[in-house]
Chain A
Amino acid sequence: MTSSSPKPASVKASLPEPVLNDKNGILMTNRRWPIEQWARPWSLPGYRNGAMMLAGIVLGILAGGALIGELSKWGDRLYALMGSFAAAKGISTVAVEAVWIAIKVLIVLHVILLNGLWSIWWERKISAHIQSRVGPTYAGGFHGWAQTILDGVKLFLKEDITPAAADQWVHALAPAIVIAPCIAAFAPVLFGSELAAARLDVGALYIFAFAGISVIGVVMAGWASGNKYSLLGGLRAAAQIVSYELPRGFSVVPVIMFAGSLDLSVIVSAQSGFWWGMAPRWFVFYPVVGQVAFLIFLIASIAETNRTPFDIPEAESELVGGFHTEYSGMKWSVFFLAEYAYVLLGSFLLATFFLGGGGSPLPWTPFTLVPSWVWMLAKAMLMMFVFLWVRWTLPRLRVDQLMDVNWKFLLPWSFANIALAGLYLAFWLK
């Protein structure tokens, strides 16, 4: 919390002066915020504010993308250095590979951790602005950027409680079973056109397989808590996630058919090029098949992360907190780290499968010069925004509605989509 003195020179004349406590300069009212401006969002200051936010987002994505690109170059250099060191000292290449894999695992782990910091703050800001609030404002100074860090400190300091009725081992292991496959699932995820921790020939299948294991952890948490609400949450989670895995997998089959491979980098390179010299050949722009597949994958991905239109496993008004009711401190936060990691995974997969990965959306010079990791991050962040936007816009579905949407709507249409994609392959694409 900063106790800065009022800055008369920089405060706009149209905004009222902030009212500060005389003794130590703490803000006493919220009148510093431009309430009049929010009441009229289509005014000139509103446009100026929006343009500044947009510029900030573009700059942030450029900075983040540049960081990823630079780090990848440093990684190549480090690998070469390790190889030459091992050759000079006579160490076997197996040891070098093992150390290198450990480094890559650490990097992927930090993607998940940093994503937790960033996306929780972003979700708070987006939810606040959707509900005409402002969200975190004080922590750290600039738009409350340090809020998640302070929350993390709070969670570290909380007491770790195991209920008396709990099955101790299963209760303690459940968060680990949720987060471990999530970290493993990030191995073949592309962060640029060729930038991934591991290039797997079965990349897409591998990601779906590992993302599915986490549900065991959720069910374990629900059962081991020794609490009927938790058990109900765990059962609901098992039914929901196992069901939504089917349309999620089948909606990607047309993409795999068009690309002819399960390898993510082959899927991305199959989307390079432009129709009529200007429209990108992304799979989302393939008529009908692309849009249907995109929508089914998006809906099923949101359902897989237990987020609001599909959050019956942890419905607050029905089940207290669902499967994580009896968790506190870091165990609880691991569940949420996994949830946000799955949001990030879903957004990167949407960008890879449907939005051309690291390819530029336009064939002209200033766009094609932008490196692929910047495009990838920009598309993933756009998709993450969609995830957060959906969560704070739509109400929760009932249990039977949820199952009806899956089995009677998403799954049949994903099958029809596969058949249509087969017709495209037979008559249109060669």
Chain B
Amino acid sequence: MLEHIVFYSLSTLVLVCAIGVVTMRNTVHSALCLGLCLAGLAGLFASLGADFLFAAQVMVYVSGIAVLIIFTVMLLGRASDLHLRQVNDQWMAALLICAVSSEGLLKIARFFSGTLATTAAKPATRDIGRLFLGEWMIPFELVSLVLMAALLGAIFFSRSEASR
């Protein structure tokens, strides 16, 4: 009962905010909606008992990525960002891509929906650490390599032509 209330209210929050991100006319309002949407997602993780994922989601997405997006929107803001429709004529293609990818996600969710744990959730930080640096070491290091490459690429492209 309680978990149903929590799940449905958080899902409503996430969905309403996600729609707000694309339909709001003011880009700053959209960015704030994105932050709230990511926070609601963290709440969903918490309600499922994934404590490490919850804290990491809040730390990385809400207080990191959302803040950087808001920062960028404010720093690069034009007057037209505050009152015009923020949708161009490719919205149908975007909608199609979203529909296809949500269909795929739905299939994955259906496939794994029987494997949900039935016992009470327990702290998972230690197990996540052991898996990352044990069984899944190579994929984990590959992902960090990709992130490192992205970091170096960002620095390379953000430097001016003269200093390259």
Interface residues of A (CB under 8 A from B): 94, 167, 170, 200-202, 205-206, 208-213, 215-216, 219-220, 222-223, 231, 234-235, 238-239, 241-242, 245, 249, 262
A239 to B71, CA, bound (A): 8
Contact call B55/A202, Cβ cutoff below 8 A = yes
Most buried by A among B32, B64, B75: B32
- When the two chains form their complex, are residues B125 and A262 in contact, meaning their CB atoms are under 8 A apart? yes
Given contacts A202-B55, A212-B62, A262-B125, whether A170 and B71 have CB atoms under 8 Å apart is no
Kindly state the interface size class of chain B when it binds its partner. Answer: 20 to 34
Q: Is the CB of A201 within 8 A of B64?
A: no
Partner of A202, one of B39, B52, B68, B70: B52
Q: Which residues of B contact A212 (CB under 8 A)?
A: 58-59, 62-64, 67
B64: chain A residues within 8 A (beta carbon) = 212, 242, 245
Q: What are some 19 contacts across the A-B interface (CB < 8 A)?
A: A94-B2, A170-B28, A200-B51, A202-B54, A205-B55, A205-B125, A206-B55, A209-B58, A213-B39, A216-B62, A219-B74, A220-B32, A220-B70, A222-B74, A235-B75, A238-B68, A238-B70, A242-B64, A249-B59
- Excluding A205-B55, A209-B62, A216-B32, 11 further A-B contacts by CB distance (< 8 Å) are A200-B51, A201-B51, A205-B125, A209-B55, A210-B58, A215-B67, A216-B70, A219-B70, A220-B32, A223-B28, A241-B67
CB neighbours of A245 from chain B (8 A) = 63-64
Q: How far is the CB of A96 from chain B (nearest CB, A)?
A: 13
* Residues of B contacting A249 in the complex (Cβ-Cβ under 8 angstroms): 59
Q: Verify A231–B56 contact, CB threshold 8 A.
A: no
Residues on B with beta carbons closer than 8 Å to the beta carbon of A231 = 74
Residues of B within 8 A of A202 (CB): 51-52, 54-55, 123, 125
Contact A205 B74 (CB under 8 A): no
Query: How far in angstroms is the closest Cβ of chain A from B118?
Result: 19
Q: Flag if A201 contacts B125 (CB, 8 Å).
A: yes
Which of B28, B56, B68 contacts A242 (CB under 8 A)?
Answer: B68
Are B63's CB and A209's CB within 8 A?
yes
| B40 located at the interface, meaning its Cβ lies under 8 Å from any Cβ of chain A in the complex | no
Which residues does chain A contribute within 8 Å of B71, judged by CB atoms?
219, 235, 238-239, 242
Least CB distance from B76 to A in Å reads 11
Q: Residue B44 at the A interface, CB < 8 A?
A: no
Compute how far the CA of A220 lies from the CA of B59 in the bound complex, rounded to whole angstroms.
Answer: 18
- C-alpha gap A200/B64 in the complex (Å): 22
Chain A nearest CB from B151 CB (Å) reads: 13
Interface string of B25-52 (1 = CB under 8 A from A): 0101100100100010000000000011
A-facing residues in B63-111 (Cβ within 8 Å): 63-64, 66-68, 70-71, 74-75
**Are A213 and B62 closer than 8 Å at their CB atoms?**
yes
Interface centre among A215, A222, A245 (most CB of B within 10 A): A215
Residue of B nearest to A234 (CB): B74
Q: Are B63 and A215 in contact (CB under 8 A)?
A: yes
Question: Would you give the shortest CB distance from A406 to chain B, in whole angstroms?
Answer: 15
Cβ–Cβ < 8 Å partners of A216 in chain B: 32, 35, 62-63, 66-67, 70
Which chain B positions have C-beta within 8 A of A239?
Answer: 71
Classify the interface of chain A: helix, strand, loop or mixed. Answer: helix
Q: Which residues of A sit under 8 angstroms from B62, Cβ to Cβ?
A: 209, 212-213, 216
Q: Which chain A positions have C-beta within 8 A of B74?
A: 219, 222-223, 231, 234-235
Query: Which of B35, B67, B68 has the most A CB atoms < 10 Å from its CB?
Result: B67
Contacts of B2 in A (CB 8 A): 94
Q: How far is the CA of A59 from the CA of B63 in the complex (A)?
A: 40
Partner of A213, one of B63, B68, B123: B63
Q: How far is the CA of A167 from the CA of B32 in the complex (A)?
A: 13
In the complex, the answer to whether A205 meets B63 with C-beta atoms within 8 Å is no
Complex Cα distance A210/B80, Å?
33
CA distance A211 to B62 in the complex (A): 11
User: Per-residue 0/1 for B132-161: is the Cβ within 8 Å of any A Cβ (1 yes, 0 no)?
Assistant: 000000000000000000000000000000
Write out the residue numbers on chain B whose beta carbons fall within 8 Å of the beta carbon of A238: 67-68, 70-71
| Contact assessment for B59 and A209 in the assembled complex, using a CB-CB cutoff below 8 Å | yes
Chain B residues with CB under 8 Å of A206's CB are: 55, 58
Q: Which of A167, A208, A234, A241 contacts B59 (CB 8 A)?
A: A208
The chain B residue with its CB closest to the CB of A201 is B123
A residues near B32, Cβ cutoff 8 Å:
170, 216, 220
Q: Tell me the bound Cα distance from A245 to B66 in angstroms.
A: 14
Smallest CB separation, B57 vs chain A (Å): 8
| Assembled-state Cα–Cα distance A220/B33 (Å) | 12
Q: Which residues of A contact B26 (CB under 8 A)?
A: 167
In angstroms, Cα B2 to Cα A222, docked, is 38
Query: In the assembled complex, which residues on chain B have CB atoms less than 8 Å from the CB atom of A213?
Result: 39, 58, 62-63
Tell which of A200, A211, A219, A223 has the most Cβ of chain B within 10 Å: A219
- In the complex formed, the residue of A with least CB distance to B55 is A205
Distance in angstroms from A266 CB to nearest chain B CB is 11
Which chain A residue shows the least CB distance to B29?
A170
Q: How far is the CB of A297 from chain B (nearest CB, A)?
A: 16
Q: Closest Cβ of chain B: how far from A267's Cβ, in Å?
A: 13
Using Cβ atoms and an 8 Å threshold, which residues of chain B touch A220? 32, 70
